[in-house]
Amino acid sequence: MKIELLYFDGCPSWQTGLEKLKTALQMEQLDDSVELVKVKDDSDAARQKFLGSPSIRINGQDLWPEKREPYSLSCRVYITPEGLKGWPSMEMLREKIKAATGDLQ
């Protein structure tokens, strides 16, 4: 399973998103590594179809897909049970991971 976290350097939320993703993977007893994908500029964002930092993909599919244009370096906001956050909640991550791994079984 290929797991990617897309981010850009100026985003204050990507490191927390990475920590939560790694914890969620551990809770699901998965030892897959997370590949960090640094988005460098707006043209790179367009090429990657970058939805904001942090974005999480499993096997090339964004866990929270949406249609958007133009693509640019931006922070991403998630609607969580606790309100708007710069990263998904642990429960949200675990649910998406379970769905993605269920598709592989």
pLDDT averages per 10-residue partition of the chain, 105 residues? 96 97 96 96 95 96 91 95 96 94 62
- pLDDT value at residue 46: 95
- pLDDT value at residue 62: 95
The per-residue b/e assignment along 33-58, b for 16 or more CB within 10 angstroms, e otherwise, is: eeeebebeeeebbeebebbbbbbbbb
Q: Confirm if 35 and 2 have CB atoms less than 8 A apart.
A: yes
**Domain 3-104 carries which CATH code?**
3.40.30
Strand, helix or coil for residue 16: helix
- pLDDT value at residue 101: 84
Q: Give the residue extent of every domain in the chain.
A: 3-104
Q: What distance in Å separates the CA atoms of residue 10 and residue 14, rounded to the nearest whole number?
A: 9
